[in-house]
């Protein structure tokens, strides 16, 4: 594949890689809080102007009934609603067929691709299941009350249609190198798909825009934020400020970087093998703990659902009323399942299949598992135990931990381990996403691919060592910016997928 040498994109990325690499390398021999704080301030000062600009543009909000509504969230939810109707509620009528594909009924090892449908799904889920399901849900309930849970569920159900579309396109326009490596995702269906429609320049621009945003989001937020939160939770459980780990963020990050590096350097096959085991295991442990809490408070479940339904349409004490509750639910669901962002299409593009629509059916299960199941169960635990009542400010993972602890005193230790494993699985998935976006920009070079992965590992150390508010702000902006370019392409390419769906449905689904 020829590299997409865009001068501005290339120059910006190289500078960002240099800054992050220098900061991470500077931390390796340091352990004192004063030294790391100095680097923190320097990097924050360097990136703060860009961070403020990106946040003000990407997260521009309008006031509606007293609630601040980010337009980017409206953009993503509106697309999910449109695609749900446009594809005839494929998220519901294709659900049973999705399960058949995932369990391997249609799997053929001779089909082009690198991994099975199940492995592609677990790789994509590993990029979404994590802090958003544990801390994000708590934030939504603390701000929007129990009613936010209902709107999270609705957004998750609608997002299934968006995932179906973007992951179908991921397979349809993927490229397979002479070495058998699969390259896919929004970069490829935006450039190739829109070129087929006669919009080559627009497609190229959107593809480069998406790839740059994906690289930055991969290095900063989806890596550094995960390592930072994993370290904070680990240090807390190990004794807080009095423990050996209190000022050893750099050491924790270094160990984490070695673990992540071993996995990601092995490529998508190694990543998929790890995630296909880690994700089901940790999700099962977490869900078993949650179900135990729910069964222990079985008599309170009807009342909890009553609070959720009533809170969704008749909220009390929430800024913005029903609009405020709806925004919190939609926002946290979008953060969690990433429908419309397009990143999951990079993982699903590697699936072994000759039918793009088939992988689309696999992908639509992803928001269901992530949001409708895991996020809803988390919310029920918080509501039933009353952990959200009387909370002053936003607690995040601490609120979820208290909710479990009220029934299972030792579960915070299990939760800490779950946070660590979810963080690792999220990081290795996003390392793959970022490397594919990077190769699209600079060329499919093994050396440049390895260089990106090494920088990714260095950023893991950096993330666990210091708090970089500006870097995280930039990452969040780039993360949601992916949705701008991606959704434009999805609207334009949806008709071709609808034709493919009609043919596939007649050929396979009607015969089931």
Q: Which domains does the chain have, with CATH numbers?
A: 61-511 (1.20.1740.10)
Provide the phi-psi class of 396: left if phi over 0, else alpha when psi is between -120 and 50, else beta.
Answer: left
Choose the most confident range, by mean pLDDT, from 80-89, 270-279, 336-345, 401-410.
80-89
pLDDT, greater one: 314 or 257: 257
Q: How confident is the model at residue 15 (pLDDT cuts 50, 70, 90)?
A: low
Identify which of 342, 354, 390 has the alpha carbon closest to the alpha carbon of residue 164: 342
The tokens describing 79, both together, are 């697309």
Identify which of 285, 228, 282 has the alpha carbon closest to the alpha carbon of residue 257: 228
The total of other beta-carbon atoms located within 10 Å of residue 288's CB is: 11
Contact partners, residue 65, CB within 8 Å, separation at least 6: 320, 321, 322, 323, 324
Position 503 pLDDT exceeds 60: yes
Instruction: Tell me how far apart the 2 most distant CA atoms of the chain are, in Å.
Output: 67
pLDDT for the residue numbered 244? 73
Q: How confident is the model at residue 103 (pLDDT cuts 50, 70, 90)?
A: confident
CA distances from 288 to 365, 366, 388, 414, 443 (A): 20, 19, 21, 11, 45
Helices (H), 59-146: 71-86, 90-93, 95-102, 117-126, 131, 137-144
- For the chain, percent of residues with pLDDT exceeding 90: 21
In the 8-state DSSP scheme, what is residue 289? Answer: H
pLDDT for the residue numbered 494? 96
| CA atoms of 142 and 383, how far apart (whole Å) | 10
pLDDT, greater one: 447 or 493: 493
Strand partners, 115: 351
Position 36 pLDDT exceeds 60: no
Weakest mean pLDDT among 219-228, 239-248, 380-389: 239-248
Position 262 pLDDT exceeds 80: yes
- For the chain, percent of residues with pLDDT exceeding 70: 82
Position 246 pLDDT exceeds 80: no
Tell me what the pLDDT averaged over the chain comes to: 80
Reported in sequence order, the residue ranges of 162-211 that DSSP labels E, i.e. its strands, are 175-176, 182-183
Position 436 pLDDT exceeds 70: yes
Identify which of 467, 6, 421, 501 has the alpha carbon closest to the alpha carbon of residue 211: 6
Region 417-425 average pLDDT: 80
pLDDT for the residue numbered 231? 80
Contact partners, residue 237, CB within 8 Å, separation at least 6: 412, 413, 416
Single pTM value for the model: 0.85
Contact by Cβ (8 Å): 401, 412:
yes
Weakest mean pLDDT among 28-32, 294-298, 455-459: 28-32
Sign of CA dihedral 187, 193, 198, 199: negative
The total of other beta-carbon atoms located within 10 Å of residue 427's CB is: 32
Position 263 pLDDT exceeds 80: yes
pLDDT for the residue numbered 35? 44
pLDDT for the residue numbered 31? 41
pLDDT for the residue numbered 499? 95
Contact by Cβ (8 Å): 24, 227:
no
Contact by Cβ (8 Å): 232, 212:
no
The tokens describing 288, both together, are 């078993």
Region 36-46 average pLDDT: 57
pLDDT for the residue numbered 209? 92
Q: How confident is the model at residue 211 (pLDDT cuts 50, 70, 90)?
A: very high
Weakest mean pLDDT among 167-181, 220-234, 316-330, 365-379: 316-330
Do β-strands 67-70 and 61-64 pair in parallel, antiparallel, or remain unpaired? antiparallel
Q: Map residue 156 onto helix, strand or coil.
A: helix
Residue 128 main-chain phi, psi, to 5 deg: -115, -40
The total of other beta-carbon atoms located within 10 Å of residue 171's CB is: 28
**Residue written as token pair 């699969």:** 182
Position 171 pLDDT exceeds 50: yes
């Amino acid at each position: 594949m020829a590299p997409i040498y865009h001068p501005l994109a290339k120059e910006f990325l190289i500078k960002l890689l240099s800054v992050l690499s220098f900061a991470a390398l500077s931390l390796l021999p340091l352990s004192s809080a004063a030294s790391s704080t100095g680097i923190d301030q320097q990097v924050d000062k360097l990136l703060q102007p860009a961070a403020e600009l990106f946040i003000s543009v990407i997260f521009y909000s309008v006031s509606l009934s007293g609630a601040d509504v980010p337009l980017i969230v409206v953009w993503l939810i509106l697309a999910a609603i449109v695609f749900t109707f446009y594809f005839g509620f494929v998220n519901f009528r294709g659900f049973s067929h999705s399960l058949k594909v995932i369990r391997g009924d249609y799997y053929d090892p001779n089909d082009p691709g690198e991994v099975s449908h199940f492995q592609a799904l677990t790789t994509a889920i590993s990029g979404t299941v994590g802090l958003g399901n544990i801390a994000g849900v708590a934030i939504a309930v603390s701000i929007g009350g129990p009613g936010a849970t209902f709107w999270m569920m609705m957004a998750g159900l609608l997002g299934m249609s968006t995932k179906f579309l973007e992951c179908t396109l991921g397979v349809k326009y993927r490229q397979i190198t002479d070495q058998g490596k699969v390259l896919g995702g929004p970069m490829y269906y935006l450039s190739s798909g829109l070129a087929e429609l006669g919009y080559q320049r627009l497609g190229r621009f959107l593809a480069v825009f998406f790839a740059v945003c994906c690289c930055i989001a991969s290095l900063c937020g989806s890596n550094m934020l995960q390592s930072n939160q994993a370290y904070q939770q680990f240090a807390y459980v190990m004794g807080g400020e009095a423990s050996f780990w209190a000022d050893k963020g750099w050491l924790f990050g270094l160990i984490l970087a070695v673990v992540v590096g071993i996995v990601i350097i092995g490529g998508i096959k190694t990543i998929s093998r790890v995630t296909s085991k880690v994700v089901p295991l940790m999700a099962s442990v977490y869900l078993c703990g949650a179900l135990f809490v729910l069964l222990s408070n079985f008599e309170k479940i009807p009342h909890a659902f009553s609070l959720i339904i009533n809170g969704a349409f008749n909220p009390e004490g929430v800024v913005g009323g029903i609009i405020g509750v709806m925004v919190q639910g939609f926002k946290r669901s979008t953060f969690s399942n990433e429908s419309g962002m397009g990143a999951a299409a990079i993982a699903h593009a590697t699936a072994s299949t000759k039918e793009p629509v088939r992988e689309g059916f696999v992908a639509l299960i992803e928001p269901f598992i992530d949001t409708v199941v895991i996020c809803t169960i988390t919310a029920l635990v918080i509501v039933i135990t009353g952990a959200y009542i009387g909370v002053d400010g936003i607690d995040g993972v601490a609120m979820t931990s208290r909710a479990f602890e009220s029934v299972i005193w030792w579960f915070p230790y299990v939760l800490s381990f779950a946070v660590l494993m979810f963080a690792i699985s999220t990081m290795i998935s996003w390392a793959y996403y970022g490397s594919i976006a990077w190769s699209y920009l600079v060329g499919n070079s093994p050396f440049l691919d390895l260089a990106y992965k090494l920088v990714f590992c260095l950023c893991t150390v950096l993330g666990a060592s210091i708090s970089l508010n500006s870097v995280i702000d930039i990452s969040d902006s780039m993360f949601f910016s992916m949705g701008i370019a991606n959704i434009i392409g999805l609207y334009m390419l949806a008709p071709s997928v609808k034709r493919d769906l009609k043919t596939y449905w007649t050929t396979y689904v009607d015969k089931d």
